Amino acid sequence: MLPWKGELAGRLDVDVITSELLRDNPLGDPAERPLWVYVPPGYDDSDERYPSVYVIQGYTGHIGMWANRTAYRQPFVETADAVFASGEAPPCIVVYVDAWTAYGGSQFVDSPGTGRYHSYLCDEVVPWVDARYRTLAAPGSRAISGKSSGGFGAMITPMLRPDLFGALATHAGDALYEMSYVAEFGKVVRLLRQWDGDIFRWWDDFRSRTAFTKEGDSELLITLGCSAAFSARDDGTPELPFDATSGELLPEVWDRWLAWDPVRMVDRYADALRGLRAVWIDAGARDEWFLDLGAQAFRDGLARVGVPDDRVRFELFEGTHMAIDYRYPQALAWLAHRLSR
Contacting a second copy (CB under 8 A), which of 7, 44, 47, 71?
A: 71
Map 259-300 to HEC letters: CCCHHHHHHHCHHHHHCCCEEEEEEECCCCCCHHHHHHHHHH
- CA–CA dist 114, 230 (Å, integer): 10
**Residue 253 sits in the site that holds a second copy (CB under 8 A):** no
**Residue 225 sits in the site that holds a second copy (CB under 8 A):** no
Contacting a second copy (CB under 8 A), which of 130, 247, 256, 275?
A: 247
For the segment 195-224, give every residue that binds a second copy (CB under 8 A).
Answer: 210-213
**Residue 13 sits in the site that holds a second copy (CB under 8 A):** no
Site string for a second copy, 126-155 (x = CB under 8 A): ------------------------------
Is 302:273 a contact under the CB 8 Å cutoff? yes
| Beta-bridge partner residues of 169 | 145, 280
**Residue 112 sits in the site that holds a second copy (CB under 8 A):** no
**Residue 16 sits in the site that holds a second copy (CB under 8 A):** no
Q: Of the listed pieces 122-130, 138-146, 189-197, 306-314, which binds a second copy according to CB under 8 A?
A: 189-197
**Residue 337 sits in the site that holds a second copy (CB under 8 A):** no
**Residue 304 sits in the site that holds a second copy (CB under 8 A):** no
Site string for a second copy, 309-328 (x = CB under 8 A): ---------xx---x--x--
Sheet containing 278-284: give its strands across.
11-18, 32-39, 93-97, 52-56, 142-147, 167-171, 278-284, 312-317
Which residue's CB is nearer to a second copy, number 60 or number 135?
A: 60
Contacting a second copy (CB under 8 A), which of 292, 307, 333, 335?
A: 292
- The site for a second copy (CB under 8 A) is made up of 2-5, 30, 34, 60-65, 67-73, 98, 100, 104, 176, 178-179, 182-183, 185-186, 189-190, 193, 210-213, 243, 245-249, 263, 285-286, 290, 292-293, 296-297, 300, 318-319, 323, 326
